[in-house]
Amino acid sequence: GAGVSQSPSNKVTEKGKDVELRCDPISGHTALYWYRQSLGQGLEFLIYFQGNSAPDKSGLPSDRFSAERTGGSVSTLTIQRTQQEDSAVYLCASSPATTHYEQYFGPGTRLTVT
Amino acid sequence: KQEVTQIPAALSVPEGENLVLNCSFTDSAIYNLQWFRQDPGKGLTSLLLIQSSQREQTSGRLNASLDKSSGRSTLYIAASQPGDSATYLCAVNYGQNFVFGPGTRLSVLP
């Protein structure tokens, strides 16, 4: 079956512009996660959605970052007024649930802020 | 604080060797632990998932063990091949969040 997909695969934007990154999870997966991986760094948790519950936003680095998940499926991560330090690969993962199931990752979106 | 570390940070071995990658975590109240590989410029591919009640999982040439009480997991790769070259990440599931280690960069030389 189809895996997790993300779009765009690459995004180059100018400092100060807003960007939207999209994630399509595996159908039926109730949990969805966003992570950021900066060059040479590990994965940094950003935000997590579980079903219709309020998202866990504890990992968002600033109020310029926000995310939503419509209809419990597709998610968009929005970064407002982008800064050069936002340049990274943004990875999305989905899971059938949270506690006992594995995560399945998308290919990521490489964001470059010039 | 929930922290995950991986040793070594990088490893280079000749083809055919057996090798062990290590993952340590500070908070043992885990649900499960997952091992991934990441190829350059790519996303993460799941290798093995070990539930907190399990001691080990095997898939082909890969074997992962878990000692929850001591906060350790190992990934054993038998008869390594050049195609195994990648970065290996462990991720610890604490229910509401996954905490990733920094990874071990493996190079298997032909």
What is the per-residue pLDDT for B91? 94
Give the per-residue pLDDT at B16: 97
pLDDT, mean over chain A: 91
Q: B56-60 long-range contacts, Cβ below 8 Å, gap at least 24?
A: none
Q: Which of A9-23, A31-45, A51-65 has the highest mean pLDDT?
A: A9-23
Q: Contact B81/B17 with Cβ under 8 angstroms?
A: no
The residues with which B86 forms a beta bridge, in sequence order, are B106
Q: Predicted confidence band at A98 (pLDDT cuts at 50, 70, 90)?
A: low
Share of chain A above pLDDT 70, in %: 96
pLDDT band at A42 (very low <50, low <70, confident <90, very high): confident
Q: What is the pLDDT of residue A2?
A: 81
Interface contact flag, A103 B96, Cβ < 8 Å? no
A30, A45, A84 from A38: Cα distances, Å? 27, 12, 11
Q: Are B66 and B73 in contact (CB under 8 A)?
A: yes
pLDDT tens for A56-71 read: 888 889 999 999 998 8
A106 touching B (Cβ < 8 Å): yes
Residues of B in contact with A110 (CB under 8 A): 41
Q: What is the pLDDT of residues B89-98, one digit of tens each?
A: 999 988 777 8
- Average confidence (pLDDT) over A17-43: 91
Q: Nearest residue on chain A to B102, judged by CA atoms?
A: A42
Cβ of A98 within 8 Å of Cβ of B99? The answer is no
pLDDT tens over chain B, length 110 residues: 889 999 999 999 999 999 999 999 999 999 999 999 999 888 899 999 999 999 999 999 999 999 999 999 999 999 999 999 999 999 998 877 789 999 999 999 99
Contacts of B46 in chain A (CB under 8 A): 102-105
Q: Evaluate the omega torsion of the peptide bond into residue A8 and state whether it is cis, within 30 degrees of 0.
A: yes
Tell which wins on pLDDT, A33 or A58.
A33
User: Which pLDDT value is given to residue B110?
Assistant: 94
A43, A91, A98: residue with CB nearest B96: A98
Q: Which long-range contacts (CB under 8 A, 24 or more apart) does B62-70 make?
A: B62/B35, B64/B33, B64/B35, B66/B33, B68/B28, B68/B30, B69/B28, B70/B28
pLDDT of residue A52: 79
pLDDT at A40 over 90: no
User: pLDDT at residue A50 above 90?
Assistant: no
Asked whether residue A101 carries a pLDDT value surpassing 90, the answer given is no
Q: Could you tell me the sign of the dihedral formed by the alpha carbons of B52, B55, B57, B61, in that order?
A: positive
CB contact under 8 A, B43 and A59: no
